[in-house]
Amino acid sequence: MKRTPSSSSADAHKLMSDPGIAGLSRRGFVQSLALSSLVAGSGSAAAVAAPPPGQPSIELGERFIIEAGWVLTESQGELKLVRDAQLLVRDGVIEDVRSGAFSDALPRLKLPHELLLPGFISGHTHCCSATPTRGIIEGPRSYARPLELVEKLSDEEMDALTALNLAELLRSGCTTHLEMSLSLRQAESYVRMAEPWGVRAYPGAMIPGIERLFAIWFRADDQVLMDAEPGTLEEIAKNLAFCEKHMGKGDGRIQPMMSPHACDTHTPATMRALADAAKSLGTGLHIHLSQGQRETDTVKRLWGQTPTQWMESYGMLSDGPVFGAHMSGLDWDIDPPILNKHGVVYAHCPSGGGAGNGTQPYPEALAAGMAVNIGIDTHSNDYLENLKLAVLYGQARHELLGELDSQRASQRPTVWNAIEGATRIPAKGLRRDDLGVIKAGARADLISVAVSGMLNGTGALPPEPLNNLLYANGRMVQTVMTDGRLQVREGQFIADDPQQILARGGEVAQKIWRQLEQEDWFTDIPR
């Protein structure tokens, strides 16, 4: 797509002439430029201007055609890249995919320099809590206190944080979220924001929630866990009511699920209650599973089984979809065969715990034949960046395991592994054959990524465009739609007012930071 060159001064002039920006102080204007990731694509002013000549308006209608330089399709069960392909979309569903042209006189979304992909699916998010921790927990500081302060916000403030984090997820191409909100209030906030924006989601509140979690999780005496049982049972009942209340909202896109924290914060009684609740809903379970060796050791000590075995003993792995995050503490001799038997999906989160927080067993999981999804976790909402990190971190871990002569089997991850883990694998784990693929009959959950421009391209449509994703990030996502409804267009977030979202979310994050300063939380970190 041809873009008109412009200088930064021209960009500034255009922005200042925008009625939504005119009247800002100089400081406010500079902030608006600095926070432009929601509205700026890999181009410049064209990304925030009206669509170029010949392009359709934002509203494409119920039936339209997408033309793309490359399309990742599914044919006869295999992923296949098709050059210059076209899609016919009707009422939110892909009606046809072909390498030739459609003759229909319909609105057309033309993406000649872009790669069209299924919308990404994150098997693990904590949506409300990312931005207040980002950039302050990368040293030895704990994320615990900032997350506790999020729960003390008003509903309006919580909605502002949720909106900003949700917008970032969409902006980077993540159209479906398995959302483990850190509390029931945060889960309600998530649904309030996600439903009007047309997000596809499987939300639930973490049990135990953030207000009770740390005392139970980091206990010095297991009696704390036993004493917490009545409160946890009460939370399970309230979360089941939340799931039932919101089931099917957003024209069926909202499908809540039970979201227990982890096995080491539960008892046999709460596990039985969770299993019953999940079975009654039919949407499955979302859990941190063997997220560290400490969890696995604790569950073995208390109940004589690994967390995976313990869940299986309650029927929790067989009554619906199950997504388990992190899995760094798996027993590799015992757990993978059980997980594979039940189709459990491992949500691998490269940025879990913040940037540079070590690697996770992605290569080992691939070698064990496990279903691996790329998840977000908390602190980084850039899905494309996390997809890239999964490959690069995974390759480095694989090489290191080889150098150390590890006895554990390992497989070198490829970008194809990661793309499938972002699309088809989690869709299959959700038992949704209409998600995660581009084929006739699938939902029109679609994204496009610029692969021909500066920094990740060459000025020409590349011959192997998936490899160019290893040089990309979420700012290069140009188009995002769910059920055929545009949420990002030409790199611009259009589901809501991005400047207001950024301003309101930033104000709330600053409030949390001020409280942390008053508590002397900002300890010096090594340089």
Got the DSSP string for 452-480?
Answer: SSTTT--SS--SSHHHHGGG--GGGEEEE
Q: What is the DSSP letter of 119?
A: P
Q: What is the pLDDT of residue 142?
A: 87
56 or 183: which carries more pLDDT confidence? 183
**Structural element, H or E, at residue 93:** strand 93-98
Residue 310: pLDDT band (50, 70, 90) is very high
Q: How far is CA 438 from the centre of its chain?
A: 19
Q: What is the pLDDT of residues 254-308, one digit of tens each?
A: 999 999 999 999 999 999 999 999 999 999 999 999 999 999 999 999 999 999 9
Q: What is the pLDDT of residue 39?
A: 58
Q: How far apart are CA 366 and CA 346, in angstroms?
A: 10
* Closest CA relative to residue 81, chosen from 324, 416, 421: 416
pLDDT for residue 21 is more than 80: no
Residue 525: pLDDT band (50, 70, 90) is confident
pLDDT for residue 50 is more than 50: no
Q: How far apart are CA 524 and CA 204, in angstroms?
A: 36
Domain 120-429 has CATH 3.40.50.10490: no
* Closest CA relative to residue 438, chosen from 117, 100, 84: 117
Tokens found for residue 25: 């102080």
pLDDT for residue 36 is more than 80: no
406 or 356: which carries more pLDDT confidence? 406
Q: How far apart are CA 52 and CA 490, in angstroms?
A: 10
Q: How far apart are CA 97 and CA 36, in angstroms?
A: 34
Residue 58: pLDDT band (50, 70, 90) is low
**Residue 361 near residue 370 (C-beta atoms within 8 A):** no
pLDDT (average), residues 449-477 = 97
pLDDT for residue 164 is more than 90: yes
Q: How far apart are CA 279 and CA 208, in angstroms?
A: 19
Q: What is the pLDDT of residue 37?
A: 56
Q: What is the pLDDT of residue 239?
A: 99
- Strand 78-90 relative to strand 93-98: parallel, antiparallel, unpaired? antiparallel
CA distances to 217, 432, 483, 511 from 321, rounded to whole Å, are 25, 10, 22, 38
Q: What is the pLDDT of residue 293?
A: 96
Q: DSSP string spanning 253-279?
A: TB---BEE-BGGG--HHHHHHHHHHHH
CATH fold of 1-119+445-496: Urease, subunit C; domain 1 (2.30.40)
pLDDT (average), residues 193-214 = 98
pLDDT for residue 356 is more than 50: yes
Tokens found for residue 437: 């693929």
Identity of residue 474: G
State what percent of residues in the chain have pLDDT above 90. 79
Count Cα atoms within 13 angstroms, Cβ side, for 188: 15
- pTM of the predicted protein model: 0.89
* Closest CA relative to residue 352, chosen from 138, 184, 132, 179: 138
5 or 370: which carries more pLDDT confidence? 370
pLDDT (average), residues 173-200 = 98
Q: What is the pLDDT of residue 38?
A: 67
pLDDT (average), residues 240-249 = 99
Mean pLDDT of the chain: 90
Give strand pairing partners of 288: 262, 325
Q: What is the pLDDT of residues 124-159, one digit of tens each?
A: 999 998 888 998 988 778 889 999 999 999 999 999
Tokens found for residue 187: 């889960």
Residue 59: pLDDT band (50, 70, 90) is low
Residue 40: pLDDT band (50, 70, 90) is low
pLDDT for residue 10 is more than 80: no
Omega before residue 5 within 30° of 0, cis: no
- Strand 477-482 relative to strand 485-489: parallel, antiparallel, unpaired? antiparallel
Residue 481: pLDDT band (50, 70, 90) is very high
Residue 53: pLDDT band (50, 70, 90) is very low
Identity of residue 276: D
14 or 174: which carries more pLDDT confidence? 174
pLDDT for residue 43 is more than 70: no
Q: What is the pLDDT of residue 4?
A: 34
Q: How far apart are CA 487 and CA 170, in angstroms?
A: 7
